[in-house]
Amino acid sequence: MRVHPLPTMQTIHAPRDMQETALRLRREGRRVALVPTMGSLHEAHLSLMRIAREQADVCVVSIFVNPAQFGPGEDFERYPRDLERDAAACREASMDVVFAPSTEAMRMEKARVYVADDTVSHTLEGQFRPGHFRGVLTVVAKLFHLTLPDVAVFGRKDAQQLFLVEKMVRDLNFPVEIVPGPIIREPDGLAMSSRNVYLSEPERRDALCLHRALKAARELYARGQEDARAVKEEMAGIIHNTPAAKLDYAEIVSERTFTPVERLDAQCRAVVAARVGAARLIDNAALSDQEI
């Protein structure tokens, strides 16, 4: 059954209104896609919206800067926010609903029931951002309950997040299909991020070291290197040699478990994180991927 798109894009603020709309859409037999975001939308978010548009009758974009996934001293307060511009971008991308709840209405800081994972939440991003993934998984579960999507689109840029959301969906039987979107980069290779606005011009150039490190990893693998340690050292070296960059980690993980490997194979992903000026940047690439 082909159902017609909703007439005009709606912006919904109250979680209860969102859930009532979602229940009505479900009763009408609509197929709903969710694109969860923290707003400050850029080309990468738009690419996820295009994927959503292909997947569903009704596309919902959530815009919520989730306090529970920021640690003390992180950038929750100054994270860029511009709902008007974001809503215009969603309308332009033929989205049907923007769900933009207030911090208070989502009650993240009051929640004492969480979704916490016990596998890789405390390594890599989780090691540098304690509590981050508990905040992420809890808000994603809430967003799923409020928007009742058939499919949800997540970017590969946040590879560990994507891994954990897929795991949550499997382990807790959420009736949601997770569709990954490819990493979208600036022409020079810098992965798009709302946090790139923190970079000064020279920092912006130094930020390219993450992409350079990933390219080097891929090239070493393509030339037959199988020792993960050698590749990690090469990646770390590239970032250490960039004056403004401070390495958090450069690791090679298995796609299946998101845990570090010793020997490389086609199911491996290189993951890097570094601070450049006031921005903390992450990036990753599958070793077998030709296009990064």
Among 155, 235, 264, 273, binds ligand AMP (CB under 6 A): 155
DSSP symbol at 183: P
Chain position whose Cβ is nearest to ligand AMP: 155
Beta carbon of residue 40, minimum distance to ligand AMP (angstroms, whole number):
7
Tokens of 119: 């596998």
Among 183, 207, 276, 286, binds ligand AMP (CB under 6 A): 183
Q: Closer to ligand AMP by CB, 45 or 218: give it.
A: 45
Residue tagged active-site, from 45, 132, 145, 240: 45
* Residue 162 φ then ψ, to 5°: -60, -45
Q: Closer to ligand AMP by CB, 48 or 276: give it.
A: 48
Task: Give DSSP secondary structure letters for 61-127.
Answer: EEE---GGGS-TTSSTTTS---HHHHHHHHHHTT-SEEE---HHHHTTTT-------SSSTTSTHHH
Query: Is 211 marked active-site?
Result: no
Site for ligand AMP in 250-289 (CB under 6 A): none
Q: Closer to ligand AMP by CB, 129 or 220: give it.
A: 129
Q: Which long-range contacts (CB under 8 A, 24 or more apart) does 268-272 make?
A: 268/221, 268/228, 269/159, 270/213, 270/214, 270/217, 270/218, 270/231, 270/235, 271/124, 271/159, 271/160, 272/210, 272/213, 272/214, 272/235, 272/239, 272/247
Per-residue binder mask for ligand AMP (CB under 6 A), 184-203, x = binder: x------xxxx---------
CA 160 to chain centre: 9
Tokens of 251: 């690791």
Q: Closer to ligand AMP by CB, 41 or 252: give it.
A: 41
Tokens of 208: 């390219």
Beta carbon of residue 7, minimum distance to ligand AMP (angstroms, whole number):
27
Using the rule CB under 6 A, is 101 a contact of ligand AMP? no
Site for ligand AMP in 16-55 (CB under 6 A): 37-38, 44-45, 48
Which residues are annotated as catalytic? 45
Residues that bind ligand AMP in the complex, under the rule CB under 6 A: 37-38, 44-45, 48, 154-155, 157-158, 181, 183-184, 191-194
